[in-house]
A and B are shown apart, each in its own frame.
Chain A
Amino acid sequence: MTQLNPLTASLSLPADTRQLLRLQTFLEELSHNWVLGDEALFALNLALEELVTNTIFYGYADKLPHVIDLDFEADQTGTIRIVMTDDGKPFNLLNAPPPDSFDLPVEEREIGGLGIHFVKTLMKRIEYQRLNEKNILTLWYQPGK
């Protein structure tokens, strides 16, 4: 299930919020093995928690069990490529609306869209593909960006 080595790592996560602790533990292990540092670990935790949670909450039209696959690969420059694959409804976060305007008074601010805004802010590059009924999201994270 969970496989870690110096170059690639992968996690198959049941689409259930009760499994989020596994994501956290996995990222801590990855961070340890790849010597990522606190800032990178924080960024990966935040971006992936937001993406996985979003998929669990809004991604599925049925109540069947689903799995979210996360594949990690580090290149020689230290950039980490993450491929997230799920079999949920088509969702391209690159087309998602931005969060509420920061100029709105607090009474009118809503939290919606903030998680995706974090992902877009933290990641260096993002690509989306819909292939074989699956969402395939590829993210590039550069520590120290």
Chain B
Amino acid sequence: MQMTYSDFDGIGVVGIVGRLDTTTYSDLETYLNSLYSKGVNQLVLDCTRMDYVSSSGLRVFLLALKRLKATGGSLVICGLQPTIHNVFEISGFLSIFNIKDNCDQALAALL
């Protein structure tokens, strides 16, 4: 798994590339924690190039949402591939996350 980062007018966009699983989730968790400590509380997780996720990875998404909600921030997830969308559906995550088709829509939801 690799990550990309862009700042759009104070909104942090983290792109997740590759597999978010038991062997990689802690890299994302550590990175997000470093962003929170720098004051980022408007976050987009861009999953356009994320091609696999397991419950270890979903846990990081859930923790991010809890953390941002607790501090008055917000989280939008975008670009879920069909198989990943299916995992979100099985998890009951479609109703608790703000999910957009693409990055532009995700940014528009936060601006």
Contacts and interface: CB of A to CB of B under 8 A. Distances in A.
Given A17-B22, A20-B22, A50 B54 contact: yes
Given A39-B83, A118-B90, A49 B54 contact: yes
Interface stretch (B35-43, B58-66, B100-108): B58-66
Given A20-B22, A42-B83, A49-B21, A115 B66 contact: no
A42 B21 CA distance: 12
B44 to A, nearest CB: 17
A134 interface: no
Interface residues of B, number: 22
A107 interface: yes
B95 interface: yes
Contacts of B66: 106-107
B55 interface: yes
Contacts, number: 57
Given A53-B56, A111-B59, A17 B23 contact: yes
Interface string B21-41: 111000000000000000000
B96 interface: yes
Interface of B: 19, 21-23, 52, 54-56, 58-59, 62, 65-66, 69-70, 83, 87, 90-92, 95-96
Shortest 10 CB-CB distances between A and B: which pairs? A102-B92, A111-B59, A115-B55, A114-B55, A106-B96, A42-B83, A53-B22, A49-B54, A121-B90, A20-B23
13 contacts: A42-B52, A42-B83, A46-B54, A99-B92, A102-B92, A105-B96, A106-B66, A107-B66, A107-B70, A114-B91, A117-B91, A118-B54, A118-B55
Interface of A: 17-18, 20-21, 24, 38-39, 42, 45-46, 49-50, 53, 99, 102, 105-107, 109, 111, 114-115, 117-118, 121
